[in-house]
Amino acid sequence: MAETGAFGKKILFLYPPPVLSEIVEELARREFEVYLVKDHGKIRRFLPKNPESILFINLDEVLEEREWEGYVKEIKGNAETATVGIGVLSLNDVPELKQKYLMDIQVPCGFITLKIGSAKTTEILIKTLEANEARGKRKFVRAVCPPGSAQFFVETSKGETLRGEVHDFSSAGLALNFEEGKTFQPGTILRGLQLAVKGGRVIADGIIVANRGAAKTDETAEKTQGNVAASHVVMFDPGSLDDAKREKLRSLVFKVNQFNLDRLLESF
């Protein structure tokens, strides 16, 4: 069984104000798994299935403060969600509210006044998230790609264009399937590999480091008599990634993960 929190925690910003947009982008650049959410009812139902999440609540939006107080106490008092890390955000610097949430309710992730500026707010959030081991033991946030949503293209030294589907990716590498069930051995270098996802495209060199089994869809299995497709794990060559490419990859990871959570919350 995986150690609790080993793969990092989901960091949810509930009703984030516009001033938080730049801050959230910076957190994504720092390899935190961040999300923007706008339905406190659905999040309340989401948390029992994700009790290791960290939830930052904007006290200035939607509910009255006394209702937010009840909301926080309900999450903390429920055995299914007692492990959720809760923090609160506000544009208003009110000592009485700080006293209530920090000392009386004892939210573990702090009370952050957004008027202190984006740089200071980012610094405080990073320290808070690190103290709560939000990254877990992983170094990179991974995005799982819905079927058909992410593709790759690469040209071989013989001029052949190979393509296929991407299962998941991070700023460090990706897992993919080649079309027509093609397989390549670990150590194979893929020069100029193009990742295309969510309207974005990143080109980098990669090396196949492992093969792993992946179940085919019913449609694919029907075409291949149920054989198991080979999934290749590819690591990017760090020398082929400049800062702009790394930032774009992290931005795409954030977009895909946000899309996946939005779709999931539709069912709550």
| Mean pLDDT of the region 60-82 | 94
- Domain extents for the chain? 10-139, 143-255
| E-strand stretches of the chain | 10-14, 33-37, 54-58, 85-90, 111-113, 143-144, 150-155, 161-169, 173-178, 189-197, 200-214, 229-236
Q: Is the pLDDT of residue 47 over 90?
A: yes
Q: What is the pLDDT of residue 6?
A: 66
- Homologous superfamily (CATH) of 143-255 is predicted glycosyltransferase like domains (2.40.10.220)
Q: What is the pLDDT of residue 217?
A: 42
| Mean pLDDT of the region 187-200 | 93
Pairing of the two strands 161-169 and 143-144: antiparallel
Q: What is the pLDDT of residue 115?
A: 78
Q: What is the pLDDT of residue 221?
A: 35
Cα–Cα distance list, 144 to 14, 147, 174 (Å): 23, 9, 10
- Residue 244: band (very low, low, confident or very high) from pLDDT cuts 50, 70, 90: very high
Which residue would you say has higher pLDDT here, 119 or 40? 40
Q: What is the pLDDT of residue 225?
A: 35
| Mean pLDDT of the region 178-192 | 91
* Range of lowest pLDDT (46-55, 111-120, 217-226): 217-226
Cα–Cα distance list, 239 to 80, 155, 172, 204, 248 (Å): 45, 19, 12, 9, 16
Phi, psi of 35 (to 5 degrees): -140, 150
Q: Is the pLDDT of residue 214 over 60?
A: no
Q: Is the pLDDT of residue 127 over 70?
A: yes
Measured distance CA(64)–CA(70) in Å, rounded: 10
CATH number of 10-139: 3.40.50.2300
For the segment 136-146, what is each residue's pLDDT rounded down to a tens digit? 888 999 999 99
Q: Is the pLDDT of residue 215 over 90?
A: no
